Structure 1
């Protein structure tokens, strides 16, 4: 992908664990925002690196029943923290991702 002048964008591939460490260092005390779809978020989940998932949905995204993430998160289940209305078409759902017994960050 082409670089965008003046933007600090880094393209990486491979295991998310070492990249996550760089992200934490770059973010300082700020949140890390993942954009790239359910598979990307799922890779961070698989490594135990998520503490929260914030999803914005509009009614048209509900029609086909496509899964949000390409893996099932049931043990332990996500915990809904809040639901907010944004405008006339969007809802923001904020979920806590509980720490799993099989955390694979080590």
Structure 2
């Protein structure tokens, strides 16, 4: 069975972006190469994105769509026509994700954002979390994990550092 993996960076105080959706803080610290991104990217063939995160990517990315060599699904509450790079999904997250997990292939990456992750966490769909912590405290912003009635028990699989960044790799206890 394929794994559903969260691979994301956050500030030391638990935020994935500022309130105005800026990631500038993330690039103010010295990493090492791509901080393990390409290594991870090769382990997945499918990406799942929430509509707000997709809109942010489309607004801020220049050049080619960043996931054009992967199966890319964007979860939305609206009916939107698919593009060359993306299939828009407005069906039940649990059944759609379980169908993907039961297909042959590489792992599935939860790109973001917080609302989509919250749904996956509450439904106990997340299998692994690879979290890169930036040496920055931003004080407020968009939290990685939203308040809710859930609990994730994790087992540390490993740690690495990329200069000033620390990667924590967890498996989710089921």
Return the TM-score normalized by structure 2.
0.43
1:93 pairs, out of 152, 161, 168, with 168
Whole-Å Cα distance in 1 between the matches of residues 98 and 153 of structure 2? 25
How far apart are the structure 2 equivalents of 1:44 and 1:77? 14
Question: Where does the alignment leave 5 or more consecutive residues of structure 1 unmatched?
Answer: 100-106
Pairing 1:1-106 to 2, within 5 Å after superposition:
7=68, 8-24=85-101, 28-60=104-136, 62-64=137-139, 67-71=143-147, 75=151, 77-86=153-162, 88-99=163-174
Q: Which runs of 4+ in 1 moved over 3 A?
A: 71-76
**What is the number of residues matched between the two proteins?**
94
1:65 is displaced (CA, Å) by: 6.4
In the TM superposition, residue 72 of structure 1 has moved relative to its aligned partner by: 5.7
Ranked by relative contact order (alpha carbons within 8 Å, sequence separation 6 or more), the top structure is: 2
Q: TM-score, normalised by structure 1?
A: 0.65
Residue 30 (structure 1) shift: 0.9
Structure 2 CA distance for partners of 1:15 and 1:74, relative to 1, 3 Å: closer
Deviation at 1:49, TM superposition (A): 0.8
